[in-house]
Chains A and B, each alone.
Chain A
Amino acid sequence: MKKYDHLIFELSNPDRRAFEIPKSDVGEESLESFLPKKALRAKAPELPQVGQVDLMRHYTNLSHKNYGLDTGFYPLGSCTMKYNPKINEDMARLPNFTETHPMQDDFLVQGNLELMDNLDQMLCEITGMDKMTLQPIAGSHGEMLGLMLMKAYHADKGDMNRTKIIVPDSSHGTNPASAAMAGLDVVTIESKENGEVDLEALKEALGDDVAGLMLTNPNTLGLFEKQIQEIAAMVHEAGGLLYYDGANTNAIMGITRPGDMGFDIVHLNLHKTFTTPHGGGGPGSGPVGVKARLIPYLPVPFVEKNEAGYKLSYDSPKSVGKISNYYGNFGIYLRAYVYILSMGYNGLKRASEVAVLNANYIMYSLKDHYKLAVDRPCKHEFVLAGINTDIAEMPTVNIAKRLLDYGYHPPTVYFPLIVPEALMVEPTETESKETLDDFIKAMKAIVEESKNDPELVKTAPHTTPVRKLDEVGAARNPIVRWEPKE
């Protein structure tokens, strides 16, 4: 089945149908009778016409060429690829939720609004913040909003000079890109070797032109930023705000909270920490939480509760406005809500503990075969600085590709940028000891292969549906759509 090689267009036959709608029961008046001819297209859009069996087999065969979390282990650092519970999917498909239109009156969607209000409070409790907005559709959307809130806050205080945002050089690429979207200039500061903030560099960068600092904690190397209180004090002292990139929240649930560390703004990736599926690239959900002094700037609408029930309120004169069409990805954050219910306070804490245990277990099991970026207990993820060169030489990219032959999705590679040959591993709490042991074995076997049969590793993968693809050719002469042969 993995040999399947058809594009849907190549199966098209003009007389086939996969689906039909009922015939019209109001007659078939011609479009020209009520629309000007010039408003109509010359010919119907070219879409494939296939039978329903062809359709199902096509996508089923495609799915066989795709690796998902239900296929196998996905130790992708900073992405928190944890199991996606099936009850979440079932609950998200309940017609009472799916069949509600975003423009229905509030009194007809009390269940939705109650869910939103409950989730707001749960996420505030987990992060130590005062109010959440569920409107951001993805993590970077949340980042953009968070930075807009920062800017709006300063502007409201009459402080128009604060145009700079500090990000450490170990940060995720979305941080500087989101800053640009919010119209802030990025100042990158060098991190210390262990990925921690260099206080001297921070001090130097801070000033009355700085809007704030963006951080993850634990940081991208999987280490807790021990000086966070000092950092928070320095940033606040300088009039700035502290932004928490929630990519690494899976390490700290029920253990410590960004709100208590001094952060003013937090975004969460519900598709990471809170088990909503990654969907092959999306949809996600990136709620943003703030401390009380930033509430006036949150986007509209927000859910309000009064004696009559729940309502969506647009009454917020200082709000930054809207960043997405309606209320964010309702169907996605509903799944996160179900996940939190199914874990409870005790389960969430246990999840973080086991995520951290699993990461340390792999890290210390691999320390003789790979170089540890930092030799110190990690949180939910850790970074290897490539293979142990005393045993063999092998670029990280080849190790990653060889893992495909062993049936694993590789770890994140060459990130963070501050670690050469980086391999970033995040096992999550949902994987068993047996799975971790097998992965450790495979990682060690690749070191042996690199020593004894380096060609085997360098030419990997060997067993995947396609082999190494020509990315240079794809970028030089982009073919981004199918066209019929002349």
Chain B
Amino acid sequence: MFPYIANTPQDEKDMLKAIGFNSIEEFFDDIPKELRLHRDLNLKPAMTEAEIKVHMEKLGAKNRGKELVSFLGGGVYDRHIPSVINHVISRSEFYTAYTPYQPEISQGMLQAIFEYQTMITNLTGLDVSNASLYDGASAVAEAAFMAVDKTRNKEIIVPDNIHPNTLRVLKTYLRFKDLELVVVATKEGTFSKAALEEKISENTAGVLVQNPNFYGLVENEIEEIVELTHKNKALLIMSVDPITLGVLKSPGEYGADIAVGDGQSLGNGLNFGGPYFGFMAATSKLIRKMPGRIVGQTVDKDGKRGFVLTLQTREQHIRREKATSNICTNQALNALAASVYMVALGKKGITEVATQSAQKAHYLYNQILEKTNFKPVYDKPFFMEFGITSNIPATKVKEALLEKGILGGIELRICGEHFDNALLVAVTEKRTKAEMDQFVQVLEGLK
């Protein structure tokens, strides 16, 4: 028998009899014979928990990762994750619940999302947040659609120093809606007003800035870019790493209209790329253009504070083809994990995590420049991620580091052939001096 199917053969008989049928087969009579699968599915027979555990352990053992010291980043970071997170999101009242469409019995999730929205707006310095999107890349695409919807223009400008996967996703999303993507070549790794000026026009709907950008550099002309964008009546979209907002100037302070990003850093594990979540915040005048669910505060008929999904006429189940997006299922549980993370860290903790990441990254950077033949890819202010290069192929460097149990970084070749030997190295608060010294030692030994 199958543990997840309660009804027994006797139950089956009783139920059929009660409603006047002889067999379950009768319920399938209307399926044309030639469409029936006249064989068993070609799958293995059922496995017990014990067998599954053995199988999965064996499969997992073919991965390496948990024993390695990671300097991989590119938007996904190995950080300290407080134990409380798993305990909260493992409460089955949360994780086995459906979308909170019945507010009377969903106040827990609704309030948690309301608190999440508040924390995201505080972090980004903007007025309103939705309840989460799929991931950072699709959040950028959704923000682009908002800009198009708001301005009725069709062109989105992005610099070439954003995450290459974000660019790929944006390309796909825009192409199918016949919208134009203009990619601006950046100089020396950072975006500039001058570079934007060459492309921006009255046809521009939105301009994207990623800060820190994919190379880890802190953008230096955001104010000017915001000003130029607004002068052209376009919206400024900022893609940000939420942890860096512990210390970096927020999109709201820069005057951005929309902030988006990937929330993995906020207490979500690496999980080979997902589930993470995308976050989105915006100025209040854009609230009705936002995609996805939004929770609002209200009162019940006894006057008690309560929460509901609100402004639902934006969404697919009401607006159908005129909805702001087709998103339905989002990443609620990951947003809950992020909320618990932000509460666990608090205002002081997030500042510390951001600060330590930056300090440690600069320690490693300085040690590498001091002790090895590696050079920086760009010698500009960065936050917690930086590119290094040498005359040794990046794959060789990675191999040498892996021998010492280190995941050395991302090969920047994915951003273009000219980055031949370059490696993008990320340092989080979780890395220790000993791990970094080992990293430097390996590079020192390379000839």
Contact = CB atoms under 8 A, between A and B. Distances in A.
Whether A and B touch (Cβ < 8 Å) is answered with yes
A327 B176 contact: no
Contact of A471 (B269, B310, B340, B436): B310
Contacts of A182: 176-177
24 contacts: A18-B82, A18-B345, A42-B253, A59-B112, A65-B108, A96-B66, A99-B270, A102-B270, A141-B326, A174-B328, A181-B173, A183-B177, A279-B333, A282-B132, A321-B171, A345-B44, A356-B27, A357-B16, A358-B15, A409-B98, A474-B298, A478-B128, A481-B129, A482-B118
B79 to A, nearest CB: 9
Interface stretch (A22-30, A233-241, A383-391): A22-30
Interface string A237-266: 000000000000000011111001100000
Nearest to B71: A101
Interface stretch (A108-116, A200-208, A287-295, A446-454): A108-116
B343 to A, nearest CB: 5
B321 A280 contact: no
Contacts of A195: none
B93 A71 contact: yes
Nearest to A49: B346
A422 to B, nearest CB: 14
Range, interface on chain B: 35 or more
Contacts of A64: 93, 108
Contacts of A344: 43-47
A273 to B, nearest CB: 13
B246 A140 contact: no
A313 interface: no
Interface stretch (B99-107, B199-207, B229-237): B99-107
A283 B318 contact: no
A66 B106 contact: yes
Given A60-B91, A229-B35, A467 B300 contact: yes
A306 interface: no
Given A24-B359, A278-B97, A320-B172, A325 B273 contact: yes
Interface string B290-321: 00011111111110111110111001111111
Interface residues of A, number: 197
B271 A181 contact: no
A101 B381 contact: no
A44 B28 CA distance: 62
Given A39-B248, A103-B72, A360-B27, 20 more contacts: A41-B125, A42-B249, A47-B342, A87-B52, A96-B57, A98-B271, A108-B65, A125-B43, A137-B274, A178-B326, A183-B176, A186-B320, A255-B31, A281-B329, A321-B168, A365-B19, A430-B4, A433-B14, A433-B15, A478-B310
B350 interface: yes
B270 A47 contact: no
A138 B329 contact: yes
A126 interface: yes
Given A66-B94, A177-B321, A341-B55, A21 B80 contact: yes
A324 B135 contact: yes
Contact of B305 (A5, A350, A379): A5
A296 interface: no
A480 B15 contact: no
